[in-house]
Amino acid sequence: MALHNLAGLLEQLPRDAAVLGIDLGRRRIGIALSDAHRGMAGPYAVLRRSKFAANMAEIATIARREKVAALVVGLPLETDGTAGRAAQAARDWAHALAAATGLPVAMADERYSTAEVRERAAKQGVVLREADAHAAAEFLSAALIRAADG
């Protein structure tokens, strides 16, 4: 399945359809869920990265339970904006996720999302051990805002 442009994909979705944000980590997968109007997103869950098929099934179950209409996978670009190995691995994973779930998938720049979440938490005196779901919410919210602004 082809990956979609996020702005174009959002225009095609029903007005009250939520989207799921997915932040792929080496050991964990952060999951964020947008509100029905896609104006913001919040942390939803952290999955332990395991067998590919098991992770796909977990994400598909969450998507069905929450009536999600699309998925947004974080694209880990290099600091200069170029796509390296990690970005290609995320693209490959996103293609497989689209095929496994049958849902449309777009990708969004997730550079600095984890660092920003940890920095904001530290300023508030909070230590986040697993920032993955918060990072997913961070990049998904930012991507939804950028897509809405055109």
What residue segments make up the domains of the chain, in order of their start?
6-149
* pLDDT of amino acid 145: 92
* pLDDT of amino acid 98: 96
111: pLDDT confidence band, cut at 50, 70 and 90? confident
Contacts of 39 (CB under 8 A, 6+ apart): 144, 148
The residue whose two tokens read 């904006």 is: 81
Q: Cα separation of 74 and 21, whole Å? A: 7
* pLDDT of amino acid 8: 93
Query: Which superfamily does CATH assign the domain made up of 6-149 to?
Result: YqgF/RNase H-like domain (3.30.420.140)
Q: Cα separation of 58 and 20, whole Å? A: 13
* pLDDT of amino acid 58: 97
Amino acid at 95: H
Q: What is the pTM of this model?
A: 0.91
Higher pLDDT, 111 or 136: 136
